[in-house]
Amino acid sequence: MRPPKFLKPQRPTSGNGLINLLERLANQVLSRIVCGMILSEEAFEKLVMEAIDGLPDFFKSKMENVAVLVQAWPSQDELNRAGVAPGHTLLGLYSGIPLTQRTQGYHSVPPDTITLYQGTIEMKAGHDDAALRYWVRHVFLHELAHHFGISDDRLRELGAY
């Protein structure tokens, strides 16, 4: 099994999709200007690839139909879908059907996604390279746990939240 690859989100052309695209592009530009994001998207993706490459082969081989995405910031829609309270944000988000819930009828399904939000992770890490590397890995592993069917409650029980 090949490790997941980065996918660029499809660019919608009309309706609310266009509004979401414009919101996302504006967030990316503002992130660099106002918030002083530390890394380029490519440099941040390298950190994510380090986290993926650092997985034991056993876990890499069990990752099925999942793509890893990097976005500058979570959209309001993503915050709403995840039930994030006002004043809080997301570092990452898993969307899809966990391996533990897939049945024999699971086929021809778009890939699950693990999205890491560069802006919020960089804010969490500050300007500390070691902290940034830690948070990228931590958030990736947290979202990957959801792909493997591990809930937030169970992660808390394990002390891994």
Q: Determine, yes or no, domain membership for 43.
A: yes
pLDDT tens readout for residues 128-158: 999 999 999 999 999 999 999 998 888 888 8
- The β-bridge partners of 117 are 71
pTM here is: 0.77
Domain count, the chain: 1
Q: Determine, yes or no, domain membership for 2.
A: no
Q: Determine, yes or no, domain membership for 87.
A: yes
Q: Determine, yes or no, domain membership for 5.
A: no
Range of the domain at 90: 15-157
- The β-bridge partners of 71 are 117
Euclidean distance between CA atoms 62 and 46, whole angstroms: 22
Q: Determine, yes or no, domain membership for 3.
A: no
Q: Is 122 helix (H, G, I), strand (E, B) or coil?
A: helix
pLDDT tens readout for residues 9-22: 444 444 566 777 77
Euclidean distance between CA atoms 152 and 158, whole angstroms: 10
CATH number of the structural domain spanning residue 75: 3.30.2010.20
Q: Determine, yes or no, domain membership for 142.
A: yes
| pLDDT computed for residue 151 by the predictor | 87
Q: Determine, yes or no, domain membership for 6.
A: no
Euclidean distance between CA atoms 114 and 120, whole angstroms: 15
Q: Determine, yes or no, domain membership for 10.
A: no
